[in-house]
Amino acid sequence: MTYFRFHLIFNLPVLAILWFLNSRYYWWGSELAALGYVLLAVMVFTTPWDNLAAKWGIWGFPRGKYSLRIGYLPVEEYAFFILQSVNVILLVRVLFHCVPVFKTWDITIMDTFTYLCIASPILPWLLIARQLYLWRQKKGPCVNYVIHLSWFLPVIYLQWVVAPKLFWDHAGMLALVTAIFGTYYTLADIVAVRAGVWFFDEKQITGFKLFGILPWEEIAFFFLTSLLVAQSYILLLPREMR
């Protein structure tokens, strides 16, 4: 299995099904704008994180499994960012239309405090970067995957600071979407690892693996990113859409 074939098997069929389900409902400009903003944020936010992990060797990609590389990552890896995010967003949209109880019409209050909270991840990211640097100075080239995961936590936490009522009222839907795609991509990832599409450095994981194949840190990654994409999309939607 190549990385491209992985997308053909696991990502594109899900995308086609969810797109068909969404095609029954008109796309408003505000929904498309929210989709676009989330995808832009995903690319800007994830690209340096993933490139750094590949550079440090936390995970890697055998040359025969991908087409070409940009930076330290295959182009198929960048496509994965987009495909996972679009699939999550499309499922959220389907649930809003098909399960009325998930729609609560909550308001996100955008005031000075909110904007300060949005900007505040800069400090924790700097602290995380410093800790990673010190870790590498002390331990050598190895950087534990679980520490690298901390890149996502400030954003998830601060989004809840910005709109706690919004996310609490949508907690059921967020939990459902996170569970579905976290589980789905975990199972797909097991297949990919067994097929050698990508691999992990044994020295940079804590050791526990699901079925002896997939590091728990990778499982956490899929659940965290699915949650982050889902709540980011909800946060950006206008009141009448959610």
Handedness of CA 52, 81, 73, 144 (dihedral sign): positive
The structure tokens 């795609």 sit at 181
Q: Considering only residues 67 and 120, tell me which one the structure prediction assigns the higher pLDDT.
A: 67
Tens digit of pLDDT for each residue in 81-113?
Answer: 999 999 999 999 999 988 877 877 777 666 676
Q: How far apart are CA 117 and CA 160, in angstroms?
A: 10
For 137-162, the pLDDT digits (tens) are 665 555 566 666 777 877 888 888 78
Over the stretch 5-16, which tens digit does the pLDDT of each residue have? 999 999 999 999
* pLDDT of amino acid 88: 97
Contacts of residue 106, Cβ cutoff 8 Å, sequence gap at least 6: 163, 165, 166, 169, 170, 239, 242
Mark out the alpha helices in 99-196 (DSSP H runs).
Answer: 112-119, 122-139, 145-148, 153-162, 164-169, 171-194
The residue among 72, 93, 86, 95 whose CA lies nearest residue 42 is 86
Of 84 and 207, the structure prediction assigns the larger pLDDT to 84
- Average confidence score pLDDT of the chain: 86
Q: Per the structure, how many domains does the chain have? A: 1
Structural domain harbouring 180: 3-241
Overall size of the chain counted in residues: 242
First and final C-alpha spacing in the chain? 39
